[in-house]
Amino acid sequence: MAAPLADPHSNISNVYIIPVSILLAIALILCVLRLWARATRTKRLYLDDWLIVVAEPLSIINAALAYAAIAHGWGRPMATVSPSDYTSTMKLQFAVQTTWLFTLCLVRLSVACALLRFGRDLLWRITLYFIMGLQVLISSSYVVIQFGQCRPVSANWEFVVNVKCWNVDAIIDYGWAIAAIYIAMDLTLSLLPIKLIRTLNRSRSEKFLISLLMALGLMATAVACAKMTTFTTFGSGDPLQATIAPSMYAKLEEIVGIIATSLPPLKAPIESILKKAGILKEHHLSQPSFVNTAASMQEMPCPVVQPSSSEGSLPVLKDEVQVDSLGIKPSSASSARHTNREKTTWEAV
């Protein structure tokens, strides 16, 4: 008895379209707001900002390729798709996988670069540089797998005689190992800021807000865990439908990473909104506890009185303490001569 034809109406592409489209729009809005916050507060972009500037357009291109694949039949049963549409879909999927590798790499590098500005001790920097180097190596290895697992490469999207491919089981085992490493990396990047937050002399509500913004990377960890549930069916089933779920989880992992790394720079505007709403109370913003206040007061330069005809003129300090929402860095201009002594001046980053 012949096997029943696949239901032509069993299109599962919405499993990909709905969550990806919603989060993609949120990520784009947050990236724009992030750049606006940098332009208005610090007047400059840092390396982590530039990495996201590259990653966000790549993410949009990646989604556009996926939508094009859906238009050609991705998500529908293979039996209901014409050979030409099948070839186009598989070719677009190959492009989706390739662009995703680069985008995810840039997102994790952006998170690590941002954290590099918030800590100066050796262990902190070694940990972050190790994560960055490991991420580059992993992404590079997957690029090799992407283009080298089947020879010729065109076998990834069309039938080729005498094709030679690597053992799928080995690739699956490698995927399990890398997924575990990614989870460990996400946990490390999410929990590292706890050390910084503990040193801040802020209210509990503010510390909670900062912790929430900087720990959203845990969402990426949760998505990575969910993605691992699809590994058991890798390489089996209908190629146009079985790849929807793993591709969706992979895309969400990338987008959630963009969202998580774009929210901390928006801490000040979010804090202002919450204070106006009465959720956070106004309080004096003090300098971080790791700045020795007593030593700072002893070594603070004497006030310099600016000449003025007004009797109400007040002395102005050459250096002022400025604490940014989430990070600090030694000022470079007016306090250059104090670099050999204890740092007493700070500027926003």
256-298 per-position pLDDT tens digit: 999 988 888 887 777 777 777 776 665 544 444 444 444 444 4
Rounded CA separation 174/196 (Å): 34
Q: Is residue 112 included in any domain, yes or no?
A: yes
Q: Specify the CATH number for the domain of residue 158.
A: 1.20.1070
Q: Is residue 285 included in any domain, yes or no?
A: no
* 251 and 110 share one domain: yes
* 130 and 222 share one domain: yes
Domain containing 330 equals 318-349
* 336 and 224 share one domain: no
Rounded CA separation 136/143 (Å): 11
Contact 327, 268 (CB under 8 A): no
* 78 and 143 share one domain: yes
According to DSSP, the β-strands at 328-330 and 346-348 are antiparallel
* Model confidence pLDDT, tens digit, residues 99-147: 999 999 999 999 999 989 887 789 889 999 999 999 999 999 999 999 9
Confidence of residue 314 (pLDDT cuts 50, 70, 90): very low
Cα–chain-centroid distance for residue 142?
19
Q: At which of 221, 251, 276 does a domain end?
A: 276
Q: Is residue 50 included in any domain, yes or no?
A: yes
Contact 258, 56 (CB under 8 A): yes
Q: Looking at this protein, which amino acid is placed at residue 39? A: A
Rounded CA separation 214/230 (Å): 28
Does position 199 have pLDDT exceeding 90, yes or no? no
* 113 and 228 share one domain: yes
* Model confidence pLDDT, tens digit, residues 201-220: 766 666 676 777 666 778 88
Number of domains in the chain: 2
Q: At which of 276, 302, 333 does a domain end?
A: 276
Task: Check the CA dihedral 335-338-339-342 and report its sign.
Answer: negative
Rounded mean pLDDT of the chain?
Answer: 79
pTM of the model: 0.75
* 252 and 325 share one domain: no
* Model confidence pLDDT, tens digit, residues 17-50: 999 999 999 999 999 999 999 988 888 899 999 9
* 138 and 210 share one domain: yes
pLDDT, residue 335, reads: 44
